[in-house]
Amino acid sequence: MAKPQSLIRGEAHLLSNWFSNDWRIENMGTQVARLRRFPRLHVSAVQLVDGTEWTLEPDGFAVVKAVDSQGTEVGRVTRRSWWGRRWDVTGPGFNYELVSHPVPRRWNIDVGGSTVAEIRGSLVSYNTVTIDAPLSLPTVAAVLAWHVIARPWEAAAAPRGLVPRTRTADTAVALASDVSQQL
Domains of the chain: 7-182 (2.40.160)
Query: What does the pLDDT read at residue 164?
Result: 46
Euclidean distance between the first and the last CA atom of the chain, given in angstroms as a whole number:
27
How many other C-beta atoms are found inside a 10 Å radius of the C-beta of residue 114? 8
CA 94 to chain centre: 15
Check whether 33 has a pLDDT greater than 90. Answer: yes
Check whether 119 has a pLDDT greater than 50. Answer: yes
Closest alpha carbon to 51 in 27, 66, 68, 64: 68
**Residues 29 and 144 sit within 8 Å (Cβ to Cβ):** no
Least confident window among 18-22, 24-28, 62-66, 106-110: 18-22
Coarse DSSP helix, strand, coil percentages of the chain, rounded to the nearest 5 percent: 20, 50, 35
Closest alpha carbon to 98 in 68, 67, 131: 131
- Percentage with pLDDT > 70 across the chain: 79
Average confidence (pLDDT) over 140-161: 73
